[in-house]
A and B are shown apart, each in its own frame.
Chain A
Amino acid sequence: MLDTLLQSAARLCEADQGTITQRKGDTFYRSVSYGFPAAFAEYVKDRPVELGRDTATGRALLEGKVIHIPDVQADADYTWNEAQRLGGFRTLLGVPMLREGVPMGVLALTRTDVRPFTDKEIELVSTFADQAAIAIENVRLFDSVEARTRELAKSLDDLRTAQDRLVQTEKLASLGQLTAGIAHEIKNPLNFVNNFSAVSVELIDELRDALGGVHLDSKLRAEINEIADTLQGNLDKVVRHGKRADAIVKNMLLHSRQGSGEHRAVDINALVDESLNLAYHGARAEKQGFNVTLEKSFDPAAGEVDLFPQEITRVLLNLISNGFYAASKRKAETNESDYEPTLAAATKSLGDKVEIRIRDNGIGIPAEVREKLFNPFFTTKPAGEGTGLGLSISHDIIVKQHGGSIEVDTRPGEFTEFRIVLPRRAASANKSGGGA
């Protein structure tokens, strides 16, 4: 558009050449030119225009008024000889393009012969300069509107993401409350089941003792003993399953402890270490003879991350227990006598992010399983050993609630490694909705 404008101005005023100078950032450049030899265009292209009396454009910018140089060779102040040589001009006209009285550019016309511009021509060029100023201003406004629109679109996207995360957090929090409620409701009757079955085992022993002193024929005694054995066996089962249910309920309560909706700055090494201990002692309490070598490699620079500690602990417990399971399974299946089940936990500072790695040298994950790993209700464990919710919830906590990432690397029969990356301001991103 400015090209056309410059061309028309030059033709109407019988000028041979012309330039339009515009501001780019803090500097002025001759961004549009007409009729000049290629050498001149090349020479001025990236050369900033200095405000000063040595060029027509510089002088127009400096003084903010029309500069008319009838013969450049007769003008003592004009010293831009190289351009004059390349452009081959003699008469110059520089008209500032003003916005609110301030020059925002210059429309310059030149003639290769000495032939001053008439007043009428100068007036005409001034009109063109005004038009150019308006055009430039419009482009600037359009650009800024476009930039603003882009900004708005981006903040709308950010808001949507934040909203999604809030909804997710809310869901997890209410799920937590529900879990805690159910767990408590179940715990009370379960306590009775456990206490009564334990005392009933004793009572059967006492029944045997009581019957011991009574004279009974051998057939009847055998029958009574058999029933007592069966009863005792049944009660042992009640006790065992009751304890199992109790362990589950305790776990549910652990996951839904009060305050799980709070996020705060947490020392990441301490959090990983605590989770390791919890998972390790949990596994030892659950399975007799369980053992695994723990390797810790904590980066002292890992520092603090703003996160929901209960939720991240839950993820870590889940990953670590999975690792224990995989390593124990390989131990049970393998013939290698020197196989040592190992679980390694590592942290690393990535500047504004923190990395946590949980690696086991267990059975690994086959490719077809790997694809479904984070799907809800997907599990490879036998009934009663897993809900299939662990990794899908972990994924949601890391990605949706904390804006981080979780990846898995594995080789069947060798190892599995989960890599979590959390932004330092992981949890506070959730709360930014009301601020900006």
Chain B
Amino acid sequence: MSLLILVVDDEPDVETLFRQQFRRDLRSGRFTMEFAQSAPVALQRITDAAGVSLILILSDINMPGMSGLDLLPKAKALRPDVPVIMITAYGDAETKRKALENGAEALLTKPIDFGTLRTEIDTRIERTA
């Protein structure tokens, strides 16, 4: 069964960027990625993915409407087993504290260090294997 990573960000170019960065893994079918441009769309996708092997959720914080920090507890309620990593341009201590308190696995800052992100993903994949 293929492993799924869900990426939540309101910037459409995030999808292009991620697909290029992880092109080899996606081509080889190591995992698949799906993209949601808002928190409600993401929640819908998480609900639909009940049977799917969702291994990781990456979410932006600053989004119009429901923010990433609002999404976090709802996503954890739906799938307590799936780790959520927050990605934000605001790396201040207060945001970090809030994210970790609400059950986030980690907080990465933008511009995304894809080396770090790759390590995080590899860890999840090894855990499921």
Residues of A within 8 A of B (CB): 184, 187-188, 190-192, 194-196, 198-199, 203, 246, 258
Bound Cα distance A187, B112 (Å): 12
Of residues 1 to 26 in B, which have CB atoms within 8 Å of A's CB atoms? 11, 13, 17, 20-21
Of the candidates B13, B20, B92, B110, the one whose C-beta lies within 8 Å of that of A187 is B110
Describe B's contact surface by its main secondary structure.
Answer: loop
Q: Are A191 and B110 in contact (CB under 8 A)?
A: yes
Name 16 extra pairs, CB < 8 A, besides A188-B89, A199-B20. Answer: A184-B89, A187-B89, A188-B11, A190-B111, A191-B112, A192-B13, A192-B17, A194-B111, A195-B17, A195-B111, A195-B114, A196-B13, A196-B17, A203-B20, A246-B111, A258-B92
Known contacts A187-B110, A194-B111, A246-B111; A199 and B21 CB within 8 A of each other: yes
Instruction: Write out the residue numbers on chain A whose beta carbons fall within 8 Å of the beta carbon of B110.
Output: 187-188, 191
Most buried by B among A190, A192, A195, A203: A195
Question: Once bound together, how far apart are the Cα atoms of A203 and B13, in whole Å?
Answer: 17
Q: Considering the complex, give the chain B residue whose CB is closest to the CB of A188.
A: B89
**Contact A191 B20, beta carbon cutoff 8 Å:** no
Q: Give the total number of A-B pairs whose CB atoms are below 8 A apart.
A: 31
Q: Which residues of chain B are within 8 angstroms of A184 by Cβ–Cβ distance?
A: 89
Task: Name which residue of chain B comes closest to A193, CB basis.
Answer: B111
10 contacts between A and B (CB under 8 A): A184-B89, A187-B110, A188-B11, A192-B11, A192-B17, A194-B111, A195-B17, A195-B111, A195-B114, A199-B114
Complex: A246 Cα to B20 Cα, angstroms: 22
Interchain nearest-CB distance for B125 vs A (Å):
21
* Size of interface on B: residues with Cβ below 8 Å to A: 11
Minimum CB distance partner of A194 in chain B: B111
Query: In the complex, what residues of A have CB within 8 A of residue B89's CB?
Result: 184, 187-188, 191
The complex places the Cα of A258 from the Cα of B92 at a distance, in Å, of 10
A214 to B17, CA, bound (A): 28
Contacts of A198 in B (CB 8 A): 114
User: In angstroms, how far is the closest chain B Cβ from the Cβ of A238?
Assistant: 13
Which residues on the B side are within 8 Å of A192 (C-beta)? Answer: 11, 13, 17
* Nearest CB in chain A: distance from B13 CB, A: 6
Scoring B11, B13, B110, B111 by chain A CB atoms within 10 A of each residue's CB, the highest score goes to B111
Q: A187-B89, A203-B20 are in contact. Are A195 and B112 (CB under 8 A)?
A: yes
Q: Taking CB as reference atom, which chain B residue is nearest A192?
A: B13
Distance in angstroms between the alpha carbons of A196 and B20 in the assembled complex: 9
In the complex, what residue of chain A is closest to B109 when comparing beta carbons?
A191
- As a 0/1 sequence over residues 97 to 129 of chain B, the CB contacts with chain A under 8 angstroms (1 = contact) are 000000000000011101000000000000000
CB interface residues, B 69-118, toward A, < 8 Å:
89, 92, 110-112, 114
* Chain B residues with CB under 8 A of A199: 17, 20-21, 114
- Point out the residues of chain B lying under 8 angstroms from A196, CB to CB: 13, 17, 20
Residues of chain B contacted by A195 (CB below 8 angstroms):
17, 21, 111-112, 114
> Which residue on B lies nearest to A246, using beta carbons?
B111
CA distance A184 to B61 in the complex (A): 14
Chain B residue contacts of A188, Cβ below 8 A: 11, 89, 110
Q: In the bound complex, what is the Cα–Cα distance between A191 and B17 (angstroms)?
A: 11
Contacts of B21 in A (CB 8 A): 195, 199
Residue of A nearest to B111 (CB): A191
Please name all residues of chain A whose beta carbon is closer than 8 Å to the beta carbon of B20 when the two chains form the complex: 196, 199, 203
Question: What's the minimum C-beta distance from B86 to chain A, rounded to whole angstroms?
Answer: 15
- Give the distance in Å from the alpha carbon of A213 to the alpha carbon of B71 in the complex: 48
* Residue on A nearest B20 in the bound complex, by CB: A199
The smallest C-beta distance from B43 to any residue of chain A, in angstroms, reads 24
Question: Whole-angstrom distance between the alpha carbons of A289 and B27 in the complex?
Answer: 42
